[in-house]
Amino acid sequence: MSNWEGLSHAIKGTLTKGVAVRGGLYRPAPVPMHIPDGFLSTPVALVLWLVAVVGIAYALYRVRREMDERKVPLMGVMAAAIFAGQMLNFSVTGGTSGHLLGAALAVIVLGPWAAVLVLACVVGTQALLFQDGGLLALGANTTNMALIGVIVAYAAYHTVRKLAGVKPWGLPVSGFVAGWLSIVIAALGCALELALSGTSPANVAVPAMGSIHILIGVGEGLITAAALALLYASRSDLLTGQAPATGGRGVWVAGLLIAVVLAVLSPLASTHPDGLEWVAEQKGFLDAARSAPIRVIPDYVFPGIPNEAVATILAGILGVAVVFAAAWLVGASGRRRSSERHL
């Protein structure tokens, strides 16, 4: 290791976890997503605690119902494996390294509900013993990593797998997408919670957390894809058991709900001009813009409604409906075409 690496290694060791050198357990904070105490306002923290408790309770219910008596040793050891796996790293460039959160791998091997419990145990133990994330903020961290991360990874993995069909690239690509997306969306959730608490304004937190984790997520995605390849080669029976029984209806219902909620929240969006408009104002060519010949819903404001917030929401919901219908038609025609090919 170069001098700089050695120094940063030592600094990380003493500063990150107090138990760094003793017993040799060195665990640098892999993904800077564990929110410490004091960062979230109490109402936000308590609401997220409630969300985490409800999510874990439901996961417990599903696990008790669906898994047999092997669940306790299986989940316990897999939690230990994920905890230990978070120590794995590989150098991305000179000083930085990629790490593993493990939500996507856990989902693919264990299924969504067991993965929720396993990740919740890992996050809780990290908070309690390593002070990696606060105790009051534990609800928020659990929601981000064990609930959001797992659900996103589950949806992404099965969606991409279905899209790929039997093609050989389906497995590693779906693993990559699941790993990458779980990190990015969980980080955006974290940024949103910081913004709602007033700790970090949204226009700072979201771009900062988002951009860092878009890069970190690449490491997670690559590790997940490679791990899946190994699991497929040695024990592919572990990978086949967890596909959703129905046609993944839950995925698009949830997605539709999220889109509608975001449309309703759209009046909260920033009124600042976007990148292109800002540059146009600065450079003085904003006036060169010509308006479109057909104006249906100009500027995302539904015409004819006096309240601008309601008009924006209505425009958003209409847009969601149109895009959804278009995507449905494309998917339906694709299905018809492929079934015709089989005849």
Residue with tokens 């690509």: 173
152 in helix, strand or coil? helix
The one among 55, 98, 111, 316 contacting another protein by CB under 8 A? 98
Query: How far apart are alpha carbons 271 and 308 in whole angstroms?
Result: 13
Q: Are 20 and 26 in contact (CB under 8 A)?
A: yes
Distance (Å) of CA 121 to CA 127, 154, 175, 234: 10, 19, 23, 27
Q: Is 70 in the site for another protein (CB under 8 A)?
A: yes
Give backbone dihedrals phi and psi of 106, rounded to 5 degrees, phi first.
Answer: -65, -40
The one among 10, 50, 54, 77 contacting another protein by CB under 8 A? 77
Q: Are 216 and 183 in contact (CB under 8 A)?
A: yes
Q: Binding segment for another protein among 114-122, 278-286, 299-307, 309-317 (CB under 8 A)? A: 114-122
Select from 12, 52, 14 the least CA-distant residue to 29: 12
- Partner residues linked to 98 by β-bridges: 90
Q: Is 239 in the site for another protein (CB under 8 A)?
A: no
Q: Binding segment for another protein among 57-65, 278-286, 314-322, 323-331 (CB under 8 A)? A: 57-65
Q: Is 95 in the site for another protein (CB under 8 A)?
A: yes
Work out how close the CB of 106 gets to another protein at its nearest, in angstroms, rounded to a whole number. Answer: 9
Work out how close the CB of 308 gets to another protein at its nearest, in angstroms, rounded to a whole number. Answer: 25
Work out how close the CB of 202 gets to another protein at its nearest, in angstroms, rounded to a whole number. Answer: 11
Q: Is 236 in the site for another protein (CB under 8 A)?
A: no
Between 117 and 186, CB nearer to another protein: 117
Q: Are 130 and 123 in contact (CB under 8 A)?
A: no
Q: Is 199 in the site for another protein (CB under 8 A)?
A: yes
Work out how close the CB of 44 gets to another protein at its nearest, in angstroms, rounded to a whole number. Answer: 10
The one among 74, 260, 286, 301 contacting another protein by CB under 8 A? 74
The one among 13, 47, 51, 71 contacting another protein by CB under 8 A? 71
The one among 47, 80, 280, 321 contacting another protein by CB under 8 A? 80
Q: Is 219 in the site for another protein (CB under 8 A)?
A: yes
The one among 183, 228, 313, 314 contacting another protein by CB under 8 A? 228
Q: Binding segment for another protein among 217-225, 254-262, 284-292, 331-339 (CB under 8 A)? A: 217-225
Work out how close the CB of 235 gets to another protein at its nearest, in angstroms, rounded to a whole number. Answer: 6
Work out how close the CB of 339 gets to another protein at its nearest, in angstroms, rounded to a whole number. Answer: 36
Q: Return the residues of window 274-333 that contact another protein according to CB under 8 A.
A: none
Work out how close the CB of 52 gets to another protein at its nearest, in angstroms, rounded to a whole number. Answer: 12
Between 131 and 159, CB nearer to another protein: 131
**x-or-dash string of contact with another protein, 1-40, rule CB under 8 A:** xx--x---------xxxxx--xxxx------x-xxxxxxx
Q: Are 142 and 52 in contact (CB under 8 A)?
A: yes
Give residues with Cβ within 8 angstroms of 234, minimum separation 6.
Answer: none
Give backbone dihedrals phi and psi of 260, rounded to 5 degrees, phi first.
Answer: -65, -40
Please enumerate, as own/partner, the contacts of 225-233 that have beta carbons within 8 Å and a separation of 24 or more. Answer: 225/171, 225/172, 225/173, 225/175, 225/176, 225/179, 226/172, 227/105, 227/175, 228/105, 228/108, 228/171, 228/172, 228/175, 229/171, 229/172, 229/175, 231/109, 232/171
Give residues with Cβ within 8 angstroms of 3, minimum separation 6.
Answer: none
Q: Return the residues of window 126-155 that contact another protein according to CB under 8 A.
A: 127-129, 131-132, 134-136
